[in-house]
Every structure is written in structure tokens, then in C-alpha cells.
Amino acid sequence: MHEEIIFAGFGGQGVLFAGQLLAYTALAEGKHVTWIPSYGPEMRGGTANCTVVVSDDPIGSPVCKHPTIAVVFNNPSLEKYEETITPHGLLVVNESMIVTQPTRDDLEIVLLPATTAAMQLGNVKVSNVILLAAMLARRPLVSMDTVEAVLIEKLGARKAALHDVNIAALKRGKELSLAQTETA
């Protein structure tokens, strides 16, 4: 297995955290992994993305020009990264934050209202965890049980109040993604 993933959105959406969570989980499972962040100078609202490469074998280059998976949090990211995904790749889109629809027909596309679902769970900030779980439901690069354990560890005792809503977000993202498979 060798997957190159880009997480893209704007600052404040938890884009970098979603990529880090995947990277830490892959490390916990003994996989080879790289994580490279990229963000604009703005604290919130500027561009933010990161690339994660997860592989069973050593990784020759952490550079990801043509990802096999893209998880996009907003419309500018959809417009920028949809065309870069390899044919037959996976595109996961936060449908709550887009105005245009994906146009490619050679991709597996998951459109889910991550922001709306996060608000229903009581915390809009967990939309990133919903999107990560939706991706992992389609491409199980790591175990959801390991993701949950690493998530709790990374949030730590200081953010214990966020444990339950993040676990609920993992479950909701998986449910939303798999529900699309059943209706397709």
C-alpha cells in the first residue's frame, strides 16, 4: 500500500490537524509516513494544506504532486486540487463549503455535509475529523480503533472535554461516507 493524500482548506478548519492525526496513526501502526504542512501567513482564513504519504514500504520522496486522495474542506481547494488527483483516486469534499460540484468522472467522489454534521454534533470544529473518517471509510489505510486512540492521546487531558464529540465525529464521518456507497 502506498497512498499520497492532500488535505486542503483554509486556516482554522483543522486541515493540518487532520493530516497530523493520520500521520501519527500510521506511525502507531508501524507504517512509513511523511507529513508536510503548507500555510499562508494569515492565522485564520488563509490557505492551509498538508500532504501525507502513507506506505508499507520506505518512502522515496515526500513530495506529492499527483495525490491518490484529496480531502478538500472548501471550494477554492476543490478547484485547485481536483485536477491533480490520479485517475481512479478518491476525492472527499465538504459539501457544506462548496458552490461548484466536482467535474471529473474518473474519481471516486464522496460529497458530505461535514460542517453541517459537525454543527449537529455541537461543535463545528470537528468537521475535520468527520472528513478524515469519511476518507478512511473508503480507503482504510489505518484502523479506526487506532485513530480513536491516537486522537484521545493527542487531545490529552487538557482537552478531555472534546474527547466525546471527536469520537462521535469519527463515527458520523464513517456513517455518512458508507451511506453514500449503499445508495450509489
User: Average pLDDT, whole number, for the chain?
Assistant: 91
- pLDDT range class, residue 176, cuts 50, 70, 90: very high
pLDDT at position 42: 56
For 50-79, what is each residue's pLDDT tens digit? 999 999 999 988 888 899 999 999 999 999
Closest residue by Cα to residue 82 from 105, 63, 58, 112? 105
For residues 78 and 102, is the Cβ–Cβ distance under 8 A? yes
pLDDT at position 12: 76
Cell readout for 41 is 501567513
- pLDDT range class, residue 47, cuts 50, 70, 90: confident
For 113-151, what is each residue's pLDDT tens digit? 999 999 999 999 999 999 999 999 999 999 999 999 999
User: From the CB of residue 72, how many other CB atoms can be counted at a distance below 10 Å?
Assistant: 26
Using CA atoms, how far apart are residues 182 and 184, in angstroms rounded to an integer? Answer: 6
Task: State mean pLDDT over 2-27.
Answer: 93
Using CA atoms, how far apart are residues 118 and 172, in angstroms rounded to an integer? Answer: 9
28 or 155, higher pLDDT: 28
What is the layout of strands, in order, in the sheet containing 69-72?
A: 32-39, 47-55, 2-10, 69-72, 90-94, 108-112
SS3 (DSSP) at 75: helix
pLDDT at position 81: 94
Asked if pLDDT for residue 182 goes beyond 90, the answer is no
Least confident of 12-21, 23-32, 114-123: 12-21
- Ordered structural domains, the chain, with CATH: 2-183 (3.40.920.10)
Using CA atoms, how far apart are residues 38 and 150, in angstroms rounded to an integer? Answer: 23
pLDDT at position 181: 67
CA angle 145, 3, 8 (to 5 degrees): 85
Task: State mean pLDDT over 146-167.
Answer: 91
Least confident of 43-57, 79-93, 115-129, 151-165: 43-57
**pTM of the full structure:** 0.92
Phi and psi (nearest 5°) for 134?
Answer: -65, -40
